[in-house]
Structure 1
Amino acid sequence: MGRGATLAGMGLYTPASARLELVRLRPLLDELVTVRADTAELAASLTPGGEPTALGGLPEYKASAARLDELVTEVQQPGIQLKGLAPLLLDFPADFDGVPVLLCWLEGDQDLAWFHRADLGFAGRRPLP
């Protein structure tokens, strides 16, 4: 578990601990966005009739895809659920009054400000109280 990630040893986040984890992850998330775009551009250039890219060819694509996998693994290590890659969607397991919830951050959000019940998913997203 990441520092500050556990609540009573259960692996649950509080809004405060999830925000701290998000701050820690920002450099990784920023790199993930860049590598995601590079990988997509390189993949498109390798398709029949694809436009060449200044980023390189097959070796660069393989390196970029490998780095993307590493970043995804690193983001998920502290118990964070990476639910989407484009756009990035992170869920932090939590508990509100005995109800399992996920604190939710979507790429572009300035702060961790949303949650949804674990059984409802993104469609049940609500502002944090």
Structure 2
Amino acid sequence: MFSVPEAREELAGLLPVLTEIVAVRADAAELAASLDGGTPTGLGGLPELKAAQARLDDLMTRVQETGAELKGFAPLLVDFPAELDGVPVLLCWLEGDDGLHWYHRADIGFAGRRPLP
């Protein structure tokens, strides 16, 4: 369980990892499309795709080792288990958010996303 300040601190430390996930994810998508008969890419071929996939696995593991939960990949969605007023919640960061400003009840999910009080 994270407090809001703890989750914000953890997110700040994870931002470089999350930024790298976005970049490597884009490279992997381009490489996969190229290998599937799409437009050739200067990024490489199958060995580079395998390397990108391995790097993504490593980066996603690093996120989960913090206690955060990686819930979405495209776009990235990271939840931090917490409690607000005695209710289990997930503090929620979505790719593009400038910080940790949202939560949703654990039993409702992303559809119940609300601004943090």
Q: TM-score range by the shorter chain?
A: over 0.9
Matched, 1:21 2:10: yes
Q: Percent identity?
A: 68
TM-score (norm: length of structure 2): 0.97
CA distance in 1, matches of 2:95, 2:85: 27
Specify which of 83, 91, 115 is matched with residue 103 of structure 2: 115
Tell me the residue number matched to 1:33.
22
Stretches of 4+ moved more than 6 A in 1? none
3-state SS, counterpart of residue 79 of structure 1: coil
Shift of 1:97: 2.1
CA distance in 1, matches of 2:66, 2:51: 25
Q: Which runs of 5+ in 2 are unaligned?
A: none
Tell me the residue number matched to 1:44.
33
Q: What is the root-mean-square deviation in Å for CA atoms of aligned residues?
A: 0.7
Tell me the residue number matched to 1:9.
none
Q: Which runs of 5+ in 1 are unaligned?
A: 1-11
Specify which of 76, 80, 84 is matched with residue 64 of structure 2: 76
Specify which of 81, 102, 124 is matched with residue 90 of structure 2: 102
CA distance in 2, matches of 1:80, 1:38: 25
TM-score (norm: length of structure 1): 0.89
Q: Which has the higher helix share?
A: 2
> What does the per-residue CA deviation read over 1:35-88, in whole Å, with 9 as the maximum and x for residues that have no partner?
0000110011111x2111000000000001100111011111111110101111
CA distance in 1, matches of 2:84, 2:29: 38
Tell me the residue number matched to 1:126.
114
